[in-house]
Structure 1
Amino acid sequence: MSGPSITVTGKTLDEIATRVRVEHGPRARIVAAERVTSGGIAGLFAKRYVEATVELPERGRRAARTGRDAPGRRASDTPASQAAFSPTPAQRVGLAALLADAEDAEEAFALEEKPAEPAVSTRSGAFADLMDDLAFNGVITDPVVPEPLVPEPVVPEPVVKMTATPVAPAAPEAPRPAPDLLDGPGDLVVVVGERPDTVAVAQAMAEGSSLQRAAIRVAGSCADGRFVRVTDRRGALEARASGVELDRATFVAVGWDSATAEIVAALAPDQIWFAVDAGRKHADTERFLATASAVIDADGLAAAGLAGTSTPDTVRTLGLPVGWTDA
C-alpha cells in the first residue's frame, strides 16, 4: 500500500531528486514529472521549471536530520550517501525517461493547440502601460536621451615614418589530449565516419572494452540490417538502459550523410569520435574532417589502418587528438 503523495518543484530533475532523498529518505519515489512554463507576456519573462509528484513511504515523511543524528554521533559522522543523493546509472535512466515522456506530451499538446500570440506594438497603449509598470517596479530604468554631439575640429596629426619589424610566425598549437575511451555501464559512444568500414572500427573499439564487450548499434548510412538501428532520443535511452542492466557500454556507428549532425544531436552521446583511415589520401581525410567538424564537436580521432601505411603519423596533424588506434 503506497503512502501519501506530494508535489516538489525545482530547476532540474536532479535538484528535485537530491531534495527528495535528503528530506524524505531513500524510500520516497518520484512517480511523475513534467516541465512547466508559467507567467510572461507574449512569450517574454516566462519561467520554466520542473514539477514532480513524489510518493512518500507508508510510514510518512522522514525529515532530514541536523545537528546530531544519534546520541553520541555528530552530523559530520553521517555517511556521505545520507547527505546528498547520488543516483545510480539505472536511476538516472529512469528519471531521464520520466522527463522525456513529459517533454513529448508537452510538445504534442503544443502542436495540437497553440494559441495565437497577441501582437505587441510599441505604438499600442498596452505596450506603454507595460513599460511604465516595469519602470515603476525597477525592472527597467527611464530612457536617457543623449545630448546632441558637436563635432570637434579635426587637427591633422604629423606623419611619422615607421620601420616595419619582421614578426616570426607563431608556432602551431598542439592538439588537446584525447580523453579516455568511455566503456562503463550505460555509456553511449558515437563513432562517425564516411567510409564503409566505420562499423568495423566501432566493433574493434568495443572489443577493447575493459568490461563485457560493448553493444553495437548503427545509424545513418551504416544501417544495413546487420545491427539494431537507433536514430532518436528514445532509442538512445533504451540502449543506455540495456547497457546498465547488462553492465556494458553501447557504441553507435553513424555513417556520414546529410542527416548525420541531426542524428548525433538527438542521440546526445557521452563521447563522439571521428573514424579515419590512415592509409587514405591525406587531402580526402582533411576534407571530410573539415566538413564534419563544422557541425559536430568531436572528442578525438579513431585511426585505423596504421599498420598498412608508410606515413602513420600524418593522422596526428589533422588538428584533433588521436584517442584510439588499431596498431
Structure 2
Amino acid sequence: MPKRLLLEGSDIEELLSQVRDEHGPGVSIVSADRVRTGGFAGFFARQRYELTVEVPDPAERPAAPASAPQAAPAAPAAPAGPAAAADPMTVLLARAEEQERRLSLTGSRAASPAAAAAPQRPAAAAPQRPAAAAPSVSLNLAQAVPAQAHVPTHAAPAAPTVQTLPAAPAVPLVPEDFVVETGTENRAFADMLASLQRDGGTGAAGALPARAYQAPAAGPERSGAVVPRAFQPPVVEQERPFERALTELGLPARMARQAVGPDMYTAVKRALADLPEAPPAPRGPGDVLVIVGETHAALHVAEKAARLLNVGPAQVLLAARSTAGTGIHNTRLLNGPRSAQQRARKIHRDDVPYVVVVDSTPEQGNGEWARAIADGLGATAVWAVVDATRKTADTARHLRTLGKVDAIAVNAVAATGDPASVLDLDIPVSHLADRPGTAQAWAALLCERLEEKQS
C-alpha cells in the first residue's frame, strides 16, 4: 500500500534532490506549497516549502517494460531544443515560480517558454491543499506532472520518456488522521525524519506514522503575550518643609505629615485640620463643671469659666485640704466625697450652674479621691489642668485615674520647647494658657515657634 510523506525545507531544489536520492524514480509528487510564516504586516516573514510525495511499496512498483508497446496512440512529438533535454523537476520548479508571478500581478500573463515547451498531457483532478496563510502560494503539481508519473532521476541523451501507469483512485490530499501545522514545532515532521534516519532514508516499511500534534496550553507566560495592567499614575512626593520642625515642637507625626506646602501658616493650618474641638462649658441650671488640677492653676481656669458662664464667686467651690492662700471662704470648701454628696442636693435644685475646683496632681497621687468627688457631685463635665512641661506619659497615667475627662487646659506653655506634645493625649484642649484652645490659637503658637527657629 503506498504511503505519503511530507517534506519541509527552505530550498525547493534540495527537497526535489532529496526525493530522487532517497525514494528513487518511483516516487509521485502530489503537491508542493510555498509557505510564509512569521513577520509583521507582510515583512520579515520566513519562507519555506512543503512537498507531499507518495511512495509505493516495493511489491507494487511495476517492472520496466522490456520493449516499447507495438501499438500505441500517437503522442505529440517532443519539441527539439534545450527544453526537450530539460529535467522534469526543473520544469516543475519553473512552473511554480511562474504561478507565483501570475498571482502577484493584476491581469493575466502569457505562460513562460519553459512551461510551453513541456509536453501537455491530461491529468486526473487532484484535491487542492488549502493555503496555510494569506501570503503563501500553493501550486498543485498534478497540473504539471500526472499523479502516477515516474520522474527519472537523470536526463537521457535523447528526448526524455515518461512512463504512465494506470490512474489510481483519487484519495484525499491529507488523511483525516494526519495534521500538519506550520511553524517550527511540527512533531509529525520530526517523527518522519527520525523514521527515515532509522531506515537509512529508504522509506521502507516500519517507519513511524505521522500523528497529530497537540499544542500545549499557552498562557500569557508561555505565549509571550503582554498582559495589560491597570494604569498606575506616578506618586509625586509633596513638599513638606516644616514637617521636621513641627515634630520637634511636639506635634504628633501623623499631624506633622499633613503640613504640606511652602507657606508656613497654610502648612500649619493643614496639620491642625483634624484637631478635635473642645465641648463648651455646661451652662444649664444645676450643671456642675469640675476642674481638676493644681489648686492655683485650676482656680485660674475656674475664674475664666465663671466669667464665661456669668456666675458669681458663690458658685465657685473648692475641694481641697484647706482654703489657705486661695481666697475661697470656708463655707465653699468640700473636704471629701461625703461633703460633695451633701452639697450636690442643693446644687441640683439651684437655677444656675456651678464650678468646682478639685486639688489633684500626679505628685499627690490622689486621682481616685478626685474621681470620687466628681461622682459625688454628679459632674456634668470634667476638665483637667495639665502641665506642658511634664512628660506626656506621666500626664496620661494621671488622667486615667480621673475617669472620663472631657477636655484639658494646658498650663506653662511658654516654659517648654515642645508645647504641642499634649496633643498626643487625644483629648480636646479647652484652654491654651490664657487663650481658648482653638485651632487658630495653636497655629499662632506654632508659627511663632517656627519663626524663632528660622531666625
Which category describes the TM-score, using the shorter chain as reference length? 0.3 to 0.5
Q: What is the TM-score when the length of structure 2 is the normalising length?
A: 0.29
Structure with the higher strand share, 1 or 2: 1
Q: Which has the larger Rg?
A: 2
Q: What is the TM-score when the length of structure 1 is the normalising length?
A: 0.39
Which structure would you say has the larger RCO, counting Cα contacts within 8 Å and 6 or more residues apart? 1
